[in-house]
Structure 1
């Protein structure tokens, strides 16, 4: 048996570097050049270029006419493969709430100590609304989405009072905890594994208050569909 040194094997180091490169490109709003990626990863430009070319060969990134690399079409396949049933059932319900209230509605799941947005729907009925992208991560012990996800689990000692309140009401609220000046309402989705919730975010307190019953009913609707 090979001696365990505690250091990553060569293969895992290479994979980790490739994944870091992919995340850097995807998270960059304007894409990245090989030089920018080299600086981001702290490697020589030739190494960054080879990483990008390998990712491009598999369709995970694509080089645009301006020479910058951006997310490739293969990413859509990966996204569709993650919790397809939950997302398929949730999206129409999310769209109805988003258009009814005029706010962005997102689907969050619990992943370790974080709440992760895996889908979002923006309203077609409102010109101005808070927008963010899928993949957003927030601490699970802060913000409406995190509170709702914790409320979907068993009660634990010294849990935030907002979680206890969310368990009693069926939904969680927060103000300015994730984004300054923003109000959020989230409700856990029953029968979901992993734990999931619907979350609505707005800059208007009255809009958030009016959305509470809509988010609660929407989460229950998705949960019922999951149990069928």
Structure 2
């Protein structure tokens, strides 16, 4: 007898249900709430909710302040674009930035509810440095990288008050918000399909202020996708 949680012939029923929801989201660019997803797919609302939470956490779905879900940035990353990807463009810029500042520079993307480090450029010399590994996850609501990611997108009702100030200034400097003794300098990268930012982390408080124009220059060098120009 086929187990009740597996489709006939093998495979994963949970995976198939998740893909069915993702397909349904792709048909509705205006977004769907949990009840609408359940109605469209025929799944129980609790099942639709659990799968949407997982899709959102991994970036396959994005959720707005009204609770509506759309296809998330991870899907665009899998499919690729007609032009170079953000990560491809950012990598050499971050390498130059890390060498110039002698500090770790990274690309941070908002995936689900976390600020995820997706590209890392290490400094050329050893010292009292803060190392960020690819895949590191930090909060979106505090810390330079997460807050700058939020500022890369349009205003949201639930965002921290200081995010609009980051949009206006084009950068943020934080001190010890995620790691004790760490100073973060980040600049949002608006215009890309994913909310993203350049982030520099250093243990030198003087470098934090000195790095601002260099981080802004790096953000300008990355620019926006050609189809947004």
The two structures share one fold, judged by TM-score above 0.5: yes
The answer for the alignment partner of 1:102 in structure 2 is 102
TM normalised by structure 1 equals 0.61
Gaps of 5+ in 2: 16-76
The answer for the alignment partner of 1:180 in structure 2 is 180
The answer for the alignment partner of 2:72 in structure 1 is none
CA distance in 2, matches of 1:102, 1:96: 10
The answer to whether structure 1 residue 219 and structure 2 residue 219 are counterparts is: yes
Residues 196-218 of structure 1 deviation map (CA, whole Å, 9 limit, x = unaligned): 11100001111111111111111
Shift of 1:14: 9.7
Which stretch has the larger CA shift, 173-182 or 149-158?
Answer: 149-158
The answer for the alignment partner of 2:38 in structure 1 is none
CA distance in 2, matches of 1:175, 1:86: 27
CA distance in 2, matches of 1:82, 1:144: 29
The answer for the alignment partner of 1:149 in structure 2 is 149
Q: Map 1:50-129 onto structure 2 (within 5 A).
A: 85-124=85-124, 126-128=125-127, 129=129
Structure 1 pair 14/91, CA: closer, same or farther in 2 (3 Å)? same
TM normalised by structure 2 equals 0.61
Contact 1:163–1:172 at 8 Å: present in 2 too?
A: no
How many residues align? The count is 158
The answer for the alignment partner of 2:206 in structure 1 is 206
The answer for the alignment partner of 1:169 in structure 2 is 169
Contact 2:202–2:208 at 8 Å: present in 1 too?
A: yes
CA distance in 2, matches of 1:196, 1:162: 17
Residues 148-206 of structure 1 deviation map (CA, whole Å, 9 limit, x = unaligned): 11111222335323312211100122111111110001111133111211100001111
CA distance in 2, matches of 1:12, 1:186: 41
Q: Map 1:15-30 onto structure 2 (within 5 A).
A: none
Aligned CA-pair RMSD: 2.8
More helix by share: 1
CA distance in 1, matches of 2:79, 2:185: 24
CA distance in 2, matches of 1:210, 1:8: 57
